[in-house]
Amino acid sequence: MRTITRVALAAFLLFGLRGSTQARAQDSAPKTGELTVPWDEFKSLLDLGTDRVVVTLATFQKLLAQTGITTAPPHTLQGGNVILSKSEFENLVNQMQPPLTPTDHLPFEYLITRAVYAGTMRTGSTAFSARFTVHVLKKRAVVKVPILPAGTALQDLKVDGGPALLVTENGSHHVLLSETGVHEVVASFAVGSALEEGPHKIDLAIRPAPITLLTLEIPLKGIEVEIPQAQQVETSTLAAGTSVKAVIAQTSAVSIRWREKTAPTEKVPARLYAEVHHLVSIDDDALRVTTDLNLNILYSELDGIRLAMPEGIHVLTVTGEGVGERQEATQDGKPVIVIPFTYGRKGNVTVRVTSERPLTETGLGNIFTGMRVQSSVRETGYIGVVLNTSAEVLVAAKESIEEIAVPRLPQQLVNQSTKPLTLAFKYLKHPFSLTLDVKRHDKIAVPLATINSANIVTLVTEDGKVVHRLVYQVRNSAKQFLEISLPKEADVWSVFVGRSPVESSIGSEGKLLVPLNRSQNVGGNLETFPVEVIYCLVEGRFGLGGSRHSALPAVDLLISQLIWSVYLPNDYSYHYFESTLEKEEIIRGINLLSSSPRRYDERAMKDVGGLGDSDGLEDRLKRAYKGENYASDFRNAPMEESQFKSQVSAELEFSGRLEGLASQAVASPAGGGGTGILPIQIQVPTSGQVYRFAKTIVKPEDPLTVEVTYSRAWVAGSLKWIALFLIAWLVYLKRDSVGRLGTRLSKSWTRVAGSFKRREAGLAKAAQSALAPFVLVGLAALLWPLFPRLSLVVFFLLWVSVAYHAVNFVKKRNQTRAAKTVDSAAAK
Please write the tens of the pLDDT for every residue from 637-688. Answer: 766 777 777 787 777 777 666 665 555 544 444 444 444 554 444 445 567 8
Confidence class for position 483, pLDDT limits 50, 70, 90: very high
Confidence class for position 49, pLDDT limits 50, 70, 90: low
Distance between CA atoms of 361 and 681, rounded to whole angstroms?
64
Cβ neighbourhood burial of 121 (10 Å; 0-12, 13-18, 19+):
buried
CA angle 406, 386, 404 (to 5 degrees): 25
Residues 493, 535: contact at Cβ < 8 Å?
yes
Residue 420 DSSP code = P
Residue where one domain finishes, among candidates 412, 439, 466: 439
Cβ neighbourhood burial of 192 (10 Å; 0-12, 13-18, 19+):
exposed
353 and 218 in a common domain: no
Distance between CA atoms of 299 and 368, rounded to whole angstroms?
33
Please give the share of the chain, as a percent, with pLDDT higher than 70.
Answer: 84
Is 33 among the domain residues? Answer: yes
Is 455 among the domain residues? Answer: yes
What is the number of structural domains in the chain?
4
Is 587 among the domain residues? Answer: no
Residue 472: pLDDT above 90? yes
Distance between CA atoms of 490 and 612, rounded to whole angstroms?
33
Count of alpha carbons within 13 angstroms of residue 350, beta-carbon side: 6
Residues 598, 633: contact at Cβ < 8 Å?
no
Residues 489, 535: contact at Cβ < 8 Å?
no
Distance between CA atoms of 133 and 15, rounded to whole angstroms?
37
17 and 136 in a common domain: no
Structure confidence at residue 660 (pLDDT) = 59
HEC letters along 295-338: EEEEEEEEEEEEEECCCCCEEEEEECCCECCCEEEEECCEEEEE
For 290-303, what is the mean pLDDT? 93
Structure confidence at residue 320 (pLDDT) = 93
Structure confidence at residue 410 (pLDDT) = 94
Distance between CA atoms of 381 and 428, rounded to whole angstroms?
7
696 and 557 in a common domain: yes
Instruction: Out of 160-164, 616-620, 712-716, pick the least confident.
Output: 616-620
User: Residue 481: beta bridge partners?
Assistant: 515
Is 174 among the domain residues? Answer: yes
Residue 78: pLDDT above 50? yes
For 704-728, what is the mean pLDDT? 83
Residues 366, 360: contact at Cβ < 8 Å?
yes
Structure confidence at residue 32 (pLDDT) = 43
Q: What is the pLDDT of residues 490-546, one digit of tens each?
A: 999 889 998 888 888 888 788 999 999 988 888 878 899 999 999 999 988 888 888
Residue where one domain finishes, among candidates 384, 407, 439: 439
Crossing angle between the packed helical segments 2-18 and 39-46, to the nearest 10 degrees: 150
Residue 355: pLDDT above 70? yes
136 and 113 in a common domain: yes
Residues 638, 626: contact at Cβ < 8 Å?
no
Neighbours of 759 (CB within 10 A): 11
Domain extent, residue 145, equals 105-260
Confidence class for position 817, pLDDT limits 50, 70, 90: confident
Confidence class for position 792, pLDDT limits 50, 70, 90: confident
Structure confidence at residue 2 (pLDDT) = 43
281 and 423 in a common domain: yes
Q: Which residues have CB under 8 Å from 186's CB, separation 6+?
A: 129, 130, 131, 132, 156, 157, 158, 159
User: Residue 78: beta bridge partners?
Assistant: 81
Rg (CA), the chain: 52
Q: Which residues have CB under 8 Å from 415's CB, separation 6+?
A: none
Structure confidence at residue 636 (pLDDT) = 76
Nearest to 647 by CA among 606, 702, 603, 695: 695
Q: What is the pLDDT of residues 104-154, one digit of tens each?
A: 567 888 999 999 999 999 888 899 999 999 999 888 888 999 999 988 989
- Dmax (CA) of the chain: 153
> What pairing do the DSSP bridges indicate for beta strands 76-78 and 81-85?
antiparallel
Distance between CA atoms of 547 and 537, rounded to whole angstroms?
17
| C-alpha distances in Å from residue 84, one per residue of 67, 89, 95, 556, 610 | 16, 6, 15, 98, 75
For 783-804, what is the mean pLDDT? 82
Residue where one domain finishes, among candidates 99, 126, 160: 99
432 and 541 in a common domain: no
Count of alpha carbons within 13 angstroms of residue 599, beta-carbon side: 14
Would you report the helix, strand and coil content of the chain in percent, each value rounded to 5?
A: 25, 40, 35
Is 482 among the domain residues? Answer: yes
Distance between CA atoms of 701 and 556, rounded to whole angstroms?
9
Confidence class for position 248, pLDDT limits 50, 70, 90: very high
For 789-808, what is the mean pLDDT? 84
Structure confidence at residue 135 (pLDDT) = 93
For 255-274, what is the mean pLDDT? 84
Cβ neighbourhood burial of 543 (10 Å; 0-12, 13-18, 19+):
exposed
Instruction: Out of 285-299, 515-529, 731-745, pick the least confident.
Output: 731-745
92 and 153 in a common domain: no
Helices assigned H by DSSP within 562-712: 602-608, 617-624, 641-652, 654-667
256 and 184 in a common domain: yes
Q: What is the DSSP string of 222-246?
A: SEEEE-TTEEEEEEEE-SSSEEEEE
Nearest to 746 by CA among 734, 757, 754: 754
Q: What is the DSSP string of 397-408?
A: EEES-EE--GGG
Q: Which residues have CB under 8 Å from 780's CB, separation 6+?
A: 791, 794, 795, 798
Residue 427: pLDDT above 90? yes
Confidence class for position 31, pLDDT limits 50, 70, 90: very low
304 and 251 in a common domain: no
Torsion of CA 312, 315, 316, 318, to 10 degrees: 170
Distance between CA atoms of 820 and 812, rounded to whole angstroms?
12
150 by DSSP, 3-state: which?
coil
Structure confidence at residue 20 (pLDDT) = 39
Which of residues 770 and 156 earns the better pLDDT score? Answer: 156
Residue 158: pLDDT above 90? yes
Average pLDDT over the chain, rounded to an integer: 82
Is 799 among the domain residues? Answer: no
Residue 425: pLDDT above 90? yes
224 and 282 in a common domain: no
446 by DSSP, 3-state: which?
coil
For 233-246, what is the mean pLDDT? 90
Residue 95 DSSP code = H
Confidence class for position 604, pLDDT limits 50, 70, 90: low
Residues 395, 403: contact at Cβ < 8 Å?
yes
Nearest to 190 by CA among 250, 137, 119: 119
Which amino acid, 351?
V
Residue 331: pLDDT above 80? yes
**Chain center to CA of 534:** 39
Residues 384, 423: contact at Cβ < 8 Å?
yes
Distance between CA atoms of 650 and 637, rounded to whole angstroms?
19
**Chain center to CA of 722:** 69
Backbone angles phi, psi at 514, to 5 degrees: -105, 115
Backbone angles phi, psi at 50, to 5 degrees: -85, 175
For 249-269, what is the mean pLDDT? 83
Q: What is the DSSP string of 189-207?
A: EEEE--SSSSP-EEEEE--
Residue 390: pLDDT above 60? yes
Instruction: Out of 52-61, 311-320, 769-778, pick the least confident.
Output: 52-61
624 and 556 in a common domain: yes
131 by DSSP, 3-state: which?
strand
Residue 11: pLDDT above 50? no
Residue 404: pLDDT above 70? yes
Q: Domain of 326: which CATH number?
A: 2.60.40
Is 779 among the domain residues? Answer: no
Residue 28: pLDDT above 70? no
Nearest to 625 by CA among 646, 604, 656: 604
Is 656 among the domain residues? Answer: yes
Q: Domain of 117: which CATH number?
A: 2.60.40.1730
CA angle 179, 181, 183 (to 5 degrees): 85
Cβ neighbourhood burial of 339 (10 Å; 0-12, 13-18, 19+):
buried
461 and 409 in a common domain: no
Distance between CA atoms of 666 and 680, rounded to whole angstroms?
7
For 724-736, what is the mean pLDDT? 82
Which amino acid, 250?
Q
Distance between CA atoms of 405 and 394, rounded to whole angstroms?
15
Confidence class for position 9, pLDDT limits 50, 70, 90: very low
Neighbours of 47 (CB within 10 A): 15
CA angle 300, 304, 309 (to 5 degrees): 130
Distance between CA atoms of 500 and 317, rounded to whole angstroms?
48
Which of residues 612 and 729 earns the better pLDDT score? Answer: 729
Distance between CA atoms of 46 and 7, rounded to whole angstroms?
7
Distance between CA atoms of 267 and 564, rounded to whole angstroms?
89
509 by DSSP, 3-state: which?
coil
Neighbours of 287 (CB within 10 A): 20
Which amino acid, 109?
E
Could you tell me how many residues make up the chain? 828
Residue 56: pLDDT above 50? yes
Residue 34: pLDDT above 80? no
For 550-555, what is the mean pLDDT? 94
